[in-house]
Amino acid sequence: MIAEIKYNSKKYKIDLSKPLDISIPIDIAKQNVNAWYIDDPKIFPVSDGNWTGSVAQGADVNFNNIHFNPHSHITHTECVGHITEKAHSVNKNLDQFFFLAEVITVVPEYLEGDAFISKKQLQFALGNKKRDAIIIRTLPNLEEKKSKRYSNTNPTYLLEEGAVFLREKGIKHLLIDLPSVDKEKDEGKLLAHNAFWNTQNELRLDATITEFIYVGNTIEDGTYFLNLMIAPFENDASPSKPILYRLIE
């Protein structure tokens, strides 16, 4: 199904029948992606006396509890409430869900045992393009990103200068295939989070960071429409399902 979209006074066409899912689900049937030093997620049937919420065990319905942390176990979208004393809900502050986005691929730079993404790399990838969202794919881009155990591995992160550049560039929605935009152990400084959300000045309440995405190798760098869907949790972060749509020439 072809849809025509008018966006910032320009018309685009996309094929709604060909979505590109860049989310990582919770899947307890295999090794689940995990970060931040906590146990794996759990999905299990409710048990109430002699009744267990499983059709396989004689119940009329499957009736499962799910125990997980959005920051540790699944693709998630977070707002500034992730790092502020005052509570801010991503469900309240994300009120638009369709954005013009740029997919870029970055080879991390290395220095003193750290891998990071610099301002210079983002400048080169974005050039003069004006986008609402950026989707960052890091190399190497292996399938193991969907099940990797990130705790105590010092993953790639975004330098503060890069987050400042994206903020000043007008990027409202930052999506990345890592457990965090910040260094795993940084003494709580959270430099990239703070810079992107502008916590030292006027908070960017409508800006979001989405972590733990996976951009398959068949998805080329370039411009897409992004549908950023979240679950309705009144929380700083929510599980999310970002979907890309290629532009039709």
Q: Each residue's pLDDT tens digit in the chain (249 positions)?
A: 898 888 888 889 999 999 999 999 999 999 999 999 999 999 999 999 899 999 999 999 999 999 999 999 999 999 999 999 999 999 999 999 999 999 999 999 999 999 999 999 999 999 999 999 999 999 999 999 999 999 999 999 999 999 999 999 999 999 999 999 999 999 999 999 999 999 999 999 999 999 999 999 999 999 999 999 999 999 999 999 999 999 997
| Domain definitions of the chain by residue range | 2-28+70-246
Residue 170: Cβ-neighbour burial (10 angstroms; 0-12, 13-18, 19+): exposed
User: 2-28+70-246 adopts what CATH topology?
Assistant: Glucose Oxidase; domain 1 (3.50.30)
